[in-house]
Structure 1
Amino acid sequence: MAEVQAVKDLDTVKLISYLLKRTYGQQIADVWDVGLNLALRISDLLSIKFENIHDERLTLVEGKTSKQATIKLNDKARSIIGRIKEEHPEHIYLFQSYRNQWSKGLDEAPISRRYVSRAFAAIGEEVGIKLGTHSMRKTRGYHLYKNTNDIARVMKMLRHSSEAVTLRYIGITQEDVDRDFAELEL
């Protein structure tokens, strides 16, 4: 699998959402916007069922680690989730595939990881970034680190156990760390 990047410019984050909506529709743009706000792996993001959302929290067991994740939903995530629920009250999954409208007898399922991946990659080419499904998670981690300079906090949010892995994951290079030391004089 090709290495994907965090989106480091906030205007580009918004542009990607706009381009996804324009090219692929609201649902894929919602995957991007909710994914940015929840920092989940794509398999976990797509597996979210409305029954996993209680009050202002999302609770699920992560597929990769089997760890329980309890995430407080911010205003943007709650707003998008509320709109989706209102528009599709019969849906089981937050990002449910519409294929069932045409294929009777199939069980409900979320949209495919492959479809999301292809959409993101195509928009990434358009904006000149190696964009993939992990870009949402990496982007959130990157911006949390830039806002707080607290790698432990980023590690906790991403549920990582190694600083080095987290720094590499969010795209913080030794050059970035050196620049932070040089620029911050106390």
Structure 2
Amino acid sequence: MAEVQAVKELDTVRLISHLLERRCSKQMSHIWNIGINLALRISDLLSVKFSDINNGRLILKEGKTGKRAEIKLNAKTMILINDIQLSHPNHIFLFQSYRNNKSLYVPPKPLTRRAVSQAFELIGEELNIRLGTHSMRKTRGYHLYKKTKDITRVMKMLRHSSEGVTLRYIGLTQDVIDRDFVELEL
């Protein structure tokens, strides 16, 4: 699997959302927009249930690390979640698969990681960028770092334990090194 990257241009972030809705579905666009705002791993994002959201907060246990994530939801995310809930009042999962809606005997399931990956790869190919499900998390981290220059805040948001890992993760290591060589003339 090729390593995916953060989307560094905000216009491209918006274009990806638009293309996902046009080429794939509104649900894929919602995944992109909510995923960028929550900075969760795709497995955790897809497992979110409406019952995990209370008083403007999402509380869940991360599958990979077992760490508790408590995320205050911003206005855009709340609007999107409310839109999904109004459109699908009987759904249990935020991103529930529509495939089993017709069967009364099959328990509800979230959308699969594979389906999301395929949609993102399709748009990535169209835009000639390495886009994948992890791009949402990396994009959030990159833009928080760009805004604050505070790697500790980014580490806490992503629940990482090392600055080096976080810098590599959001794709800044080579950018920072290149800029240092160009800007520092002795």
TM-score normalized with structure 1 length: 0.95
What's 2:120 paired with?
120
Once the two structures are TM-superposed, the CA of residue 128 in structure 1 deviates from its matched residue by 1.1
- 1:148–1:180: structure 2 CA closer, same or farther, 3 Å change rule? farther
Once the two structures are TM-superposed, the CA of residue 178 in structure 1 deviates from its matched residue by 5.3
Which has the larger displacement, 3-12 or 173-182?
Answer: 173-182
What's 1:40 paired with?
40
Which has the larger displacement, 158-167 or 168-177?
Answer: 168-177
Partner SS state of residue 60, structure 1: strand
Q: How many pairs are equivalent?
A: 184
Unaligned stretches of 5+ residues in structure 2: none
What's 1:28 paired with?
28
- 1:180–1:11: structure 2 CA closer, same or farther, 3 Å change rule? farther
Which has the larger displacement, 135-144 or 165-174?
Answer: 165-174
Determine the C-alpha separation between the residues in 2 that align with 1:31 and 1:75.
16
Deviations 1:98-144 (A, max 9, x none): 01123442110000000000100110011111000000000000000
Determine the C-alpha separation between the residues in 2 that align with 1:181 and 1:130.
26
What's 2:163 paired with?
163
Determine the C-alpha separation between the residues in 1 that align with 2:96 and 2:179.
44
Unaligned stretches of 5+ residues in structure 1: none
**Residue 8, structure 1, aligned to residue 8, structure 2:** yes
Partner SS state of residue 168, structure 1: helix
- 1:126–1:93: structure 2 CA closer, same or farther, 3 Å change rule? same
Would you say the 8 A contact 2:6–2:171 is kept in 1? yes
Once the two structures are TM-superposed, the CA of residue 148 in structure 1 deviates from its matched residue by 0.4
- 1:180–1:17: structure 2 CA closer, same or farther, 3 Å change rule? farther
Determine the C-alpha separation between the residues in 2 that align with 1:5 and 1:142.
10
Would you say the 8 A contact 2:97–2:109 is kept in 1? yes
Within 5 Å, give how 1:174-185 maps onto structure 2. 174-177=174-177, 179=179
Partner SS state of residue 95, structure 1: coil
Would you say the 8 A contact 2:101–2:108 is kept in 1? no
What's 2:140 paired with?
140
Partner SS state of residue 136, structure 2: helix
Partner SS state of residue 3, structure 1: coil
Determine the C-alpha separation between the residues in 1 that align with 2:180 and 2:50.
42
Once the two structures are TM-superposed, the CA of residue 30 in structure 1 deviates from its matched residue by 0.2
**Residue 108, structure 1, aligned to residue 108, structure 2:** yes
Task: Tell me the percent identity.
Answer: 65
Deviations 1:34-82 (A, max 9, x none): 0000000000000000000001100000000001100000001000001
RMSD: 1.5
